[in-house]
């Protein structure tokens, strides 16, 4: 006579209660493991300091010469929220700045995109201006020959070799 023995695992049949229970548990375990891959913890939201670090480098496209981090308008608050969202999505600082440049133009950047050119162009323009002014003063102060003085290399009695000029001189002599 058998006394309450645990059923042997090899004796389970698909139609038995133990078989159905085992299949249900295995199915639940597989579902739990599958859905746990898709469910992830919420990424930490960026702090105000992280948002303001980027917002300080951008100017408000609506207000004139106002950094985005201190602008009190509703539009700027929305743009700061957009920066926060983009940071939460994992975008880099350069990608966020590029987004704002594409949307509003390079005028939203606190620093020009190409610093070397932005410093060299005014310097070269100033140097060219100084050179032009110096040349102008030089020509202004240089004495010009008067009408009474003939240039040294021109002889007044030299024959004219150009036929047009010769004909013109003849016509002038005829009219006198």
**Cα 2 to Cα 19: distance, rounded to the nearest angstrom:** 22
| 50 closest CA partner among 106, 117, 96 | 96
How do the domains of the chain map onto residue ranges?
48-108
pLDDT of amino acid 125: 93
pLDDT in 10s for each residue of the chain, 176 residues: 555 665 555 554 555 777 787 888 888 887 777 766 655 555 577 888 888 899 898 888 787 778 888 888 888 889 899 999 999 998 998 899 999 889 888 888 887 777 777 788 899 999 999 999 999 888 888 876 665 555 555 555 666 578 888 888 889 988 87
The CATH number of 48-108 is which of 1.10.10.10, 1.10.8.640, 3.40.1170.60, 3.40.190.10?
A: 1.10.8.640
Token readout for 59 is 């100017």
The percent helix, strand, coil of the chain (3-state, each to 5) is 60, 0, 40
Residue owning tokens 């493991």 = 33
CB-count exposure of residue 99 (10 Å: 0-12, 13-18, 19+): middle
Q: Is the dihedral of CA 134, 137, 141, 145 positive or negative?
A: positive
pLDDT of amino acid 85: 92
Chain length of the chain: 176
């Amino acid at each position: 006579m058998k006394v309450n023995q645990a059923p042997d695992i090899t004796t389970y049949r698909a139609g038995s209660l133990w078989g159905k229970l085992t299949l249900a548990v295995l199915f639940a375990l597989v579902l739990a493991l599958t859905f746990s891959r898709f469910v992830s913890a919420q990424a930490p939201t960026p702090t105000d300091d992280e948002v303001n670090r980027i917002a300080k480098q951008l100017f408000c496209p609506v207000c004139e010469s106002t950094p985005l981090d201190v602008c009190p308008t509703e539009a700027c608050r929305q743009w700061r929220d957009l920066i926060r969202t983009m940071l939460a999505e994992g975008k880099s600082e350069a990608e966020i700045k590029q987004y704002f440049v594409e949307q509003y133009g390079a005028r939203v950047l606190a620093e020009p995109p190409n610093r070397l050119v932005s410093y060299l162009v005014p310097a070269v323009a100033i140097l060219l201006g100084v050179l032009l002014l110096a040349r102008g003063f030089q020509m202004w102060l240089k004495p010009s020959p008067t009408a009474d003085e003939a240039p040294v290399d021109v002889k007044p009695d030299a024959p004219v070799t150009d036929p047009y000029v010769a004909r013109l001189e003849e016509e002038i002599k005829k009219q006198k």
